[in-house]
Amino acid sequence: MHSDKKTVLLGVTGGIAAYKSCEIVRGLQKAGVRVKVVMTENATKFVTPLTFRALTHEEVAVGMFDDAPSDPIHHISLAEEADLFLIAPATVNVIAKIANGICDDLLTTTACACTAPLVVCPAANVHMYESPANQRNMGLLALHGAKIIEADAGYLACGDIGKGRLADVDEIVRQTLLELGLTGDMRSTSVLITAGPTIEPIDPVRYITNFSSGKTGYALAKAAHERGADVTIVSGPVAVEAPEGVHVIPVRTAREMRDAVAEAFPACDIGIFAAAVADLRPKGEADHKLKKGIDDAALQTIELAQNPDILAEMGAHKQEGQVVVGFAAETNDVIANARKKLLAKHADMIIANHVGRGLAFGTEGNEIWMVTPDGEEHVPYMLKPELAHVILDKTIELMG
């Protein structure tokens, strides 16, 4: 019996990357997963069923009408056994069939009969991959709830350069384990992250803002998602792309950000306030474009009003068990100022950094100090995606 192990049904189709499926089997097995393989007839031209039988110590399913050792209705028993159906590599052909409910061989029929999560890893020549039909079919699969692990770009077996190479095997294994709920130290944790600048209108065409790029907040969101967290970003206007699988609430002003945060934060375990929220806003937005010669007084002196302090509000109202992390960009006395902020805002940690030395805003990396009630830790310069994981490690520690 295999009842204590999760079962991944690995579908192998007729692409050149089929040889990499052997490594996927090994990676999943190393993580304690039982792997059963189902292949298309065409896949057997690339790798033999014998190889997979030897690796998995299981019968390898190929023909729709082959005599399965245990069950004559093989596609149903295979589908029921699976905790997850992973198709890697998935040909353009098989993607098209599954997306459209075609069941003309054992693999596609099993996919249709399977109610377990489906993870699809496409691989093909760049033109096949990017063909409108394939793009539409991948979109359809995603719409039906499948997880698509997109192909990488690079040199392809056919000699072309472009997108189409099977995603990295380690990444496929990692995401599969995450989907199975076997890894991810932040699974069942919900995280709210604010990111980017806010913009504060002067009139319909002008506004006050700052240099925040959103890269830190978005890197944190991506890292938390990779670790299995349920992530929401409340984001000011940024040029960075939202990570896949993360819920984004776009806002413009500090007040909009405050309202979105106040609504979402009570349901979250962690709040990371990485946005550069404007402290002040023009008092009253003009309802028309201010004009030289007509509105000179209003243009020359912009009266300012205080914006809500989102970190302070959330810190003051945090519930038992919630962790609040704030950011402090300082030009001097970095740690002392961060510690003051930690106390004043009732935060659990302040990520402090030195601005004005070519670091922080808009850059690819940063050097930080993680200031908590127990002390401070210096984190030397590293790229923001790596830094995000260091910050999350510490945040998880604070959750206790």
Ligand X SMILES: Cc1cc2nc3c(=O)[nH]c(=O)nc-3n(C[C@H](O)[C@H](O)[C@H](O)COP(=O)(O)O)c2cc1C
Binding site for ligand X (CB under 6 A): 13-17, 40, 42-43, 91-94, 123-124, 128
Strands (E), 214-339: 230-235, 247-250, 270-273, 280-282, 304-306, 323-330
140/262 with CB nearer ligand X: 140
Catalytic residue among 112, 114, 158, 268: 158
Least distance to ligand X from the beta carbon of 26, Å? 21
Least distance to ligand X from the beta carbon of 95, Å? 8
Sequence letter at residue 374: D
Least distance to ligand X from the beta carbon of 34, Å? 24
**158 carries an active-site annotation:** yes
Asked if 233 contacts 246 with a C-beta cutoff of 8 angstroms, the reply is yes
Euclidean distance between CA atoms 315 and 266, whole angstroms: 11
A 10 A CB-CB count for 101 gives 10
17/352 with CB nearer ligand X: 17
43/121 with CB nearer ligand X: 43
Cis amide leading into 385 (omega within 30): no
- Residue 173's SS3 state is helix
Closest CA to 115 of 144, 94, 137, 90: 144
Least distance to ligand X from the beta carbon of 16, Å? 4
Least distance to ligand X from the beta carbon of 45, Å? 8
Taking phi first (over 0 means left), then psi (-120 to 50 degrees means alpha), and beta for anything else, what does residue 227 get? Answer: alpha
14/326 with CB nearer ligand X: 14
- Residue 343's SS3 state is helix
Count of CA atoms in the C-beta half-sphere (13 A) of 137: 23
Least distance to ligand X from the beta carbon of 48, Å? 14
Euclidean distance between CA atoms 40 and 63, whole angstroms: 8
- Residue 325's SS3 state is strand
11/271 with CB nearer ligand X: 11
Euclidean distance between CA atoms 326 and 337, whole angstroms: 12
158/298 with CB nearer ligand X: 158
Active-site annotation, residues = 158
